[in-house]
């Protein structure tokens, strides 16, 4: 069962997850973090930046991003290369050479998935993977119907995902139609999955991912196949969970030594 932690706010979630990551980095400086883009992980990155100000050294941390748009120049402000650089690499003081993002360049995209899988394997994988969740239950850009065994590859975004992400662009037309995304099989290889979700708009997807059947039709339900998952949600995103009383009981009675 995924551990479900219900917090008061996105900032509280950020503090909780960042404190855990900082503790892991203190134990082992060459920790590897899987980073997501979008709005959801931002409180974690902001809290990690505060950890850095307080003296935590992230310079030996390696990061692997989940996905990238196809056809956006890396320098485009909404390419995930740029977003990760702006939200993660610079504020956390990461070594840019240790930050990996899939190649979404049209000319070379055909081999991008295999190259990313090889880079992940050569590195030895991801210790902790941060995940957001789409309102339709996608993780990474694994849209509904994605194979639960899928590896990094090109995907076509649904119109709903493009509309959800249009807020980052001047118009819907500018949102790419394709992406390169880690597959569900890739994501499931990480040592620990931390899925975050905030707001009522995510409540249905969270409930289905945590408590519904495991199905390619609900890609985030893949978390039920992983042995170490933490789902951190605010009250609104938790509002459709049937067993929320039990999750609160478990967390309130959790031995301190267990950590996240
Ligand atoms: C982005 C990603 C996506 C987002 C999801 C939610 O790297 O992997 O799965 O996590 O689309 O986006 P936000 O957080 O903006 O609601």
Q: Is the CB of 219 under 6 A from ligand 1?
A: no
Name 41's Cβ contacts closer than 8 Å, sequence gap at least 6.
Answer: 35, 87, 130, 132, 196
Is 136 a residue of the active site?
yes
Q: Ligand 1 centroid vs 135 CA: distance in angstroms? A: 9
How do residues 90-99 score in pLDDT, each as one tens digit?
A: 999 999 999 9
pLDDT at site 219: 98
Name 61's Cβ contacts closer than 8 Å, sequence gap at least 6.
Answer: 25, 29, 30, 31, 32, 33, 92, 94, 98
SS3 annotation, the chain: CCEEEEECCHHHHHHHHHHHHHHHHHHCCCCEEEECCCCCCHHHHHHHHHHHHCCCCCCCCEEEECEEECCCCCCCCCCHHHHHHHHHHHHHCCCHHHEECCCCCHHHHHHHHHHHHHHHHHHCCCCEEEECCCCCCCECCECCCCCCCCCCEEEECCHHHHHHHHHHCCCHHHCCCEEEECCHHHHCCCCEEEEEECCHHHHHHHHHHHHCCCECCEHHHHHHHCCCEEEEEECCCCCCCCCHHHHHHHHHCCCHHHCC
Nearest C-alpha to atom 12 of ligand 1 is from which residue?
38
Is 143 a residue of the active site?
yes
Q: Is the CB of 66 under 6 A from ligand 1?
A: yes
Strands 62-65 and 67-69: unpaired
Active-site entry in 68, 85, 87, 136? 136
Decide if 196 is inside a domain.
Answer: yes
Q: Is the CB of 140 under 6 A from ligand 1?
A: yes
Q: What percent of the chain has pLDDT over 90?
A: 98
Decide if 258 is inside a domain.
Answer: no
Is 138 a residue of the active site?
yes
pTM of the model as a whole: 0.97
Tracing tokens 């992980």 back to the chain, one arrives at: 41
Decide if 69 is inside a domain.
Answer: yes
DSSP bridge pairs for 35: 65
pLDDT at site 1: 80
How do residues 129-183 score in pLDDT, each as one tens digit?
A: 999 999 999 999 999 999 999 999 999 999 999 999 999 999 999 999 999 999 9
Average pLDDT over residues 69-73: 97
Q: Ligand 1 centroid vs 194 CA: distance in angstroms? A: 13
Q: Ligand 1 centroid vs 257 CA: distance in angstroms? A: 31
Decide if 230 is inside a domain.
Answer: yes
Decide if 105 is inside a domain.
Answer: yes
Q: Is 193:230 a contact under the CB 8 Å cutoff?
A: yes
Q: Which two tokens stand for residue 197?
A: 């979700």
Is 211 a residue of the active site?
no
Q: Ligand 1 centroid vs 132 CA: distance in angstroms? A: 5
pLDDT at site 83: 98
Decide if 232 is inside a domain.
Answer: yes
pLDDT at site 257: 87
Task: Show the domain range for 47.
Answer: 3-253
- For the domain that residue 47 is a member of, what is the CATH number? 3.40.50.1360
Out of 133, 166, 168, 199, give the residue to mutate to test ligand 1, the one with the largest number of ligand atoms within 8 Å of its CB.
133
Nearest C-alpha to atom 5 of ligand 1 is from which residue?
134
Structurally, the chain folds into a number of domains equal to 1
Q: Is the CB of 146 under 6 A from ligand 1?
A: no
Residue 259 has pLDDT above 90, yes or no: no
Decide if 259 is inside a domain.
Answer: no
Q: Ligand 1 centroid vs 50 CA: distance in angstroms? A: 23
Active-site entry in 143, 164, 192, 234? 143
Decide if 111 is inside a domain.
Answer: yes
CA gyration radius, the chain = 17
Nearest C-alpha to atom 3 of ligand 1 is from which residue?
140
């Amino acid at each position: 069962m995924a551990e479900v932690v219900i917090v008061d706010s996105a900032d509280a979630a950020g503090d909780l997850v960042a404190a855990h990551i900082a503790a892991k980095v203190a134990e082992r400086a060459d920790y590897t973090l899987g980073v997501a883009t979008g709005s959801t992980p931002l409180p974690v990155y902001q809290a990690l930046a505060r950890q850095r100000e307080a003296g935590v050294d992230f310079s030996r941390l390696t990061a692997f991003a989940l996905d990238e748009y196809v056809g956006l120049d890396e320098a485009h402000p909404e390419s995930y290369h740029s977003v990760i650089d702006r939200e993660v690499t610079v504020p956390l003081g990461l070594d840019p050479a240790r930050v990996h993002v899939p190649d979404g360049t049209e000319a070379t995209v055909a081999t991008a998935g295999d190259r990313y899988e090889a880079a992940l394997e050569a590195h030895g994988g991801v210790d902790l993977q941060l995940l957001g969740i789409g309102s339709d239950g996608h993780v990474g850009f694994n849209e509904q119907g994605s194979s639960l065994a899928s590896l990094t590859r090109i995907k076509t975004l649904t119109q709903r995902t493009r509309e959800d992400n249009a807020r980052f662009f001047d118009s819907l037309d500018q949102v790419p139609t394709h992406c390169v995304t880690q597959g569900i099989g890739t994501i499931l290889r990480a040592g620990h999955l931390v899925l975050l979700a905030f707001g009522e708009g995510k409540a249905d997807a969270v409930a289905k991912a945590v408590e519904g059947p495991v199905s390619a039709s609900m890609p985030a339900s893949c978390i039920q196949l992983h042995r170490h998952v933490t789902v951190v949600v605010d009250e609104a995103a938790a509002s459709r969970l049937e067993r929320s009383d039990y999750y609160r009981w478990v967390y309130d009675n959790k031995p301190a030594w267990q950590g996240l």
